[in-house]
Structure 1
Amino acid sequence: MKFNFYKTSIIAFCITLSSCGNSENVNEASGTFEATETIVSAEANGKILKLTINEGDQLGKGQKVGFIDSTQLHLSKMQLKQNGRAILSGRPDSKVQIEALQKERENAVKDKKRIENLVKGDVASQKQLDDANYRIAIIQSKIDALSSQLATTTNNLNEQSGSVGFQLAQVEDQLKKCNIINSVSGTVLTKYANEYEMATVGKPIYKIADLSTLKLRAYITASQFAKIKIGDVVKINVDAENGKSKTYSGTVEWINSKAEFTPKTIQTKDERANLVYAVKIRVKNDGTLKIGMYGDVVF
């Protein structure tokens, strides 16, 4: 009876060891959280007259956060408008200038009809009728030439006015770019400029990122590479207060198809010599996760 009791105890102990070994047989990887960061830069030259942002502010897409001095551009806009009006005021009044010749032609046509009747009664000669027709043709030629000249002048002035219109559109676009408009929704991470500083095109003003969802960039081994795929849901453990850890659910959204050396942030020399694959895991942020925090992945 005693032998059977010892035998039963040994078997139970072996089963317990076996189950414990299986529970620890999990694939893990470590990495840091990152976000898609966007640097908002100036699109115009001039002094920043207003900039109503601070680091940590929540901004919406399309929100106006400041503006750059646009006085000279406004003056250029006014000058171009005046130039456009001056050019258009020089267009000839074609109707008035042609009207006199048209009346002269009408009189010439009446004279021709009268001469035609006189010719029928043998009172006027054929030469007088020919002269009347010639006079009508001359007047019509003058009308055609003047109409062409006036049309050419009008078209040239319209073209000049159109050119001014394009210049005006350019100034309008430059004025629009004097407004500092936030391009993406998110949190201001870093502020590079302040009010009353000079801005130039391309100068960074602030950096912003959407922190509602972060990405954990981790590195996996070749054996782990074959076991995961895009779309897999994994667990991520993050250090919390009092030495405890907090678990999040994440989705694998990118896996690098090429191996690379382990980053230098891995301290062990042997580990740095290994080839690994980078993966990105999308994690919904409850406000606790921060850029740069470490996380452990359990596949």
Structure 2
Amino acid sequence: MSQSNNIPLGIGLMVATTFVFAVQDGLSRHLAGEYNVLMVVMIRYWFFAAFVIAIAKRNAGSIRQAAKTSQPVLQGLRGLLLAAEICVMVAAFTILGLVESHAVFTCYPLLVAALSGPVLGESVGWRRWSAIGVGFIGVLIILQPGMSVFDPAAAIPLLAAGMFAIYGLLTRYVAREDTTATSFFWTGVMGSIAMTCAGVWFWEPMSATDWIFMGCLCITGVSGHWLLIKCYEVAEASAVQPFAYLQLVFAAIIGISIFGETVRANVAIGAALIVAAGLFTFWRERLQSASN
């Protein structure tokens, strides 16, 4: 796809994207609190798959061309991994709430940076390793391991972050041979197939009001991905990616105002360290890209 570098527009689109995804998470939290998580994610994936097929057909010219890959196993694994990660994260919303789940999940860019060396052979210098270390100190502050108030359920969003980081690394790897349209196609279709196989067994009757919420969930999912695609079309990723952390802010606002969640001091401090470390990591990556 053609790409310009309109940074102000890109930043605006990224802010809109994070807001839409935060609303999506709020809707997921409500619906998964009333119905089985697998069913909720399954219906969401049906709409997502339809969107992915439409985008892939437009960009690649045909569905067959979009699906063409020399790495079907890796592409399939990516799709399954993302679907599983979404299920884990939505479950975390119902157990821990939006605030604490997002505070921990925010560390996933640091996991990507840490694993990019051994998995992809990318160079990770001591400065970025230091930032990764600071970020994980932030995670420990949030989780409070070894203290009497420690809740093992707090590790659930950390698991989701690890899964999403591996998904991101696999996406980078397959991009060496496959187009974005192909990867996007496999993500939606494989996820939809997997969630249908798992979720159809947990179908529950849904109230008319919750069907409206489900419709909104599907719309926010599709519109969020569309905004993200447009964001990366108009501006380079390194310029807009730091603003993705605003999803934590928007999710916290929704969690506090709608679901009555609270922000504990350790969560606020830990999240601040994670975000600061992540921003530093993005800054170092941008410097290295500029010098190459």
Larger Rg: 1
Give the TM interval when normalised to the shorter protein: under 0.3
Richer in strand (by share): 1
TM-score (norm 2): 0.18
Structure with bigger RCO (C-alpha 8 Å, 6+ apart): 2
Richer in helix (by share): 2
